[in-house]
Amino acid sequence: MIHQLIFAYPRPGMSEREFHRYWVEEHAVRYAAKIPQIRQYCVDTRVELSYDEPEPLWSGVAEIWLANEEEQLASLQTPEFLEGARLDEPRWAAFWRTLVLDTDAHIVLPGDRETPGVKLFVLVKREEGMPLTEFRQYSRDAHAPLMSKVPGLRRYYQNHTRDGAYGIGEATLDCAYQLWFDDANALRNAMRSTEYQRAMADLATFTEPRYVHTLAVRENWIIGPNQA
Dihedral sign, Cα of residue 203, residue 204, residue 208, residue 211: positive
Mean pLDDT by 10 residues, the chain (228 residues): 98 97 97 97 94 84 97 97 96 96 96 81 97 98 98 97 93 97 96 97 96 96 74
Number of domains in the chain: 1
pLDDT at 71: 97
Measured CA to CA, the distance from residue 224 to residue 228 in angstroms comes to: 6
- Report d(CA 57, CA 46) in Å as an integer: 11
Q: Where are the beta strands (DSSP E) in the chain?
A: 2-8, 40-46, 60-66, 99-109, 118-124, 155-161, 175-181, 213-223
Whether 186 is covered by a domain: the verdict is: yes
pLDDT at residue number 228: 40
Residue 157 within any structural domain of the chain: yes
Residue 79 counted as domain residue: yes
| Dist. CA 136–CA 218, nearest whole Å | 27
| Whether the Cβ atoms of residue 98 and residue 192 lie closer than 8 Å to each other | no
* pTM (2 d.p.): 0.94
Q: Give me the pLDDT at residue 53, please.
A: 72
Q: Does residue 228 sit within a domain?
A: no
Q: What is the pLDDT of residue 227?
A: 47
Q: Note down the domain range covering 197.
A: 2-223
Q: Rounded to an integer, what distance in angstroms lies between the CA atom of residue 42 and that of residue 32?
A: 10
Q: What is the pLDDT of residue 41?
A: 97
The whole-number pLDDT of residue 54 equals 78
Phi, psi at 155, each rounded to 5° = -145, 155
What's the pLDDT at 115? 67
For residue 48, the domain's CATH number is 3.30.70.100
Q: Is residue 165 part of a domain?
A: yes
Buried b (16+ CB within 10 A) or exposed e, 185-210: ebbeebbeeebbeebbebbeebbeee
Could you tell me how many residues make up the chain? 228
Q: Would 185 be classed as within a structural domain? A: yes
Instruction: For residue 38, tell me if it sits in a domain.
Output: yes
| Residue 132 belongs to a domain | yes
Total Cβ atoms within 10 A of residue 94: 17
pLDDT at 225: 76
